[in-house]
Amino acid sequence: MLKDYNGIMRDYAGKKFHIVGIGRSGVAAANLLHALGADVRISDRSDSGRIAGYADGIDREVAVFAGRQDKSMINDVECLVLSPGVPPNAEIVSEAAQRSVEVIGEIELSYRVIRKLSYETGLDVRWYGITGTNGKSTTVTLLHEMLCRDNRNSVLSGNIGYPLSAEALRLFQTGEEAEIETALEIVLELSSFQLERIRDLRLDISALLNVTDDHLDRYNDMEQYSRAKAGIFMNQGADNYAVINADDGLTMSLSQGCPARKYYVSTMKEVKGAFVRDGYIFIKKDDSEEKLMKSSDIRIAGLHNLYNALTASLIASLTGVSREVIADVLREFPGLEHRLEFVTEIEGIRFYNDSKGTNAGAVIKSLESFEGNVILIAGGRDKDSNFLSLAPHVKERVKKVIVIGEAAGKIRSALGHIVPVEHAVTLKDAVKAAYDSASSGDTVLLSPACASFDMFRDYEDRGTQFKCIANELLRGNENNE
């Protein structure tokens, strides 16, 4: 059993850790450290009622502090572990820096543990990480599906929901020799928040999809946000790979200092990497070029998804996955929930759930998937987004905008001179208003360009409610026939 190896225990046993943030990542980190023999405490500014669903999963021996978080909590602490949502200017984080307490993220902690386990057991672990403002979840899921279809031992983790600490704990507790003969390939979706706090993480293959305005309520400006994204290349060397979107000037600029071997994706030109020529996807590596498939045969629609497919295909190819396996996955993959997800059709009006569209760039990419006649439902908690950037796309493709949430007024100000804008108090009111405004052939699209936390638990809650409301409309329409 991996848990019989003493080296990893020596690194953590008795060491004092404080984890900030009681969510999926924080709970997984607390349980991992407790299993390793560390002295662990975890805190969250939210009261016990709000974090109860997560706190129930924490090992009993871990000290839990809900509803308070102050600098006295890090007395004698040797390492502070941050959940992704914790801002870098939080009081407890600033205090730790002043006391020279090491501050890392949950991803970094897990990486260190798994790396140590691999040294002690001989387990071959390969690390693939993908970031970008939009498209991360679809791309990592496509890559994971390709690896699994090729009978690889692949784990999908990170920002997509399964904490890397949970995988580290699984390896530590249940990794018998028979289970570690096959290389472990870890596919990470990495947000800018997670990349802020990495120190040692070294990716065998990194990918930067795109960088557009987002999270400017957390970062001072686009430069600071972009620097966080560029952290994906940290620690890479000449024996690693970096995959870059050649059609995005900012991603090209951010990758300039990366020493890894660079490959590119493009829909506009032929590159070393993955590109489109005459309606076909090609993969070019050094001296070889392979025709993969017709780009129109990819099941998930939209130009943005073509970039996602190119990136996943290139990375899979670099790891040795066959052309046939890659093409099969692209033909069959239906897309992810809450990402331009078709919900239902009522009297020729089609409803799409794009609740994951939490910034203006994501909404633009979603609108580009439709020729026109869109009723757009947008709004929520503003992340200091530039809603004016939506204007030309709204003018071209949107008939009407229904606004909700805290950002409703700001969106109306940005778009009200272009198309009619109607305010709705609740999401149910917004869906009903959109349906009443639509005709056969129109599309009702929830793509909020905002965070969800003013009205919902998270974007998944928002998307699920939208789907329920649309399906209620469908049932009501059928009952009236």
Query: DSSP of 385-452, one letter per residue?
Result: --GGGGHHHHHHHEEEEEEESTTHHHHHHHHTTTS-EEE-SSHHHHHHHHHHH--TT-EEEE--SSBS
Examine the domain organization and report whether 416 and 302 are in the same domain.
no
Q: Which two tokens stand for residue 324?
A: 């046939």
- Burial of residue 365 (CB within 10 Å: 0-12, 13-18, 19+) is buried
pLDDT at 157: 97
Examine the domain organization and report whether 264 and 122 are in the same domain.
yes
CATH of residue 164's domain is 3.40.1190.10
Residue that finishes a domain, picked among 332, 350, 374:
332
Residue that finishes a domain, picked among 332, 355, 386:
332
CA 91 to chain centre: 26
Asked whether residue 3 is domain-assigned, the answer is no
Asked whether residue 468 is domain-assigned, the answer is yes
What is the span of the domain harbouring residue 42?
15-100
Q: Which two tokens stand for residue 156?
A: 């999908």
- Note whether 438 and 370 are within 8 A (CB): no
Between CA 369 and CA 353 the distance in angstroms is 13
Examine the domain organization and report whether 325 and 351 are in the same domain.
no
Examine the domain organization and report whether 150 and 121 are in the same domain.
yes
Examine the domain organization and report whether 285 and 181 are in the same domain.
yes
Examine the domain organization and report whether 125 and 189 are in the same domain.
yes
Residue that finishes a domain, picked among 332, 358, 383:
332
Asked whether residue 7 is domain-assigned, the answer is no
Check the CA dihedral 353-219-249-260 and report its sign. Answer: negative
Examine the domain organization and report whether 439 and 301 are in the same domain.
no
Examine the domain organization and report whether 281 and 132 are in the same domain.
yes
Between CA 425 and CA 436 the distance in angstroms is 16
Distance in angstroms between the alpha carbons of the first and the last residue of the chain? 63
pLDDT digits (tens, 9 = 90+) for 171-201: 888 754 435 557 899 999 999 999 999 999 9
pLDDT below 50 — which residues of the chain?
1-4, 176-178
Between CA 244 and CA 305 the distance in angstroms is 15
pLDDT at 479: 62
Between CA 307 and CA 30 the distance in angstroms is 37
SS3 state of residue 377: strand
Number of structural domains in the chain: 3
Examine the domain organization and report whether 82 and 122 are in the same domain.
no
Examine the domain organization and report whether 223 and 168 are in the same domain.
yes
Examine the domain organization and report whether 308 and 388 are in the same domain.
no
Asked whether residue 2 is domain-assigned, the answer is no
Examine the domain organization and report whether 88 and 158 are in the same domain.
no
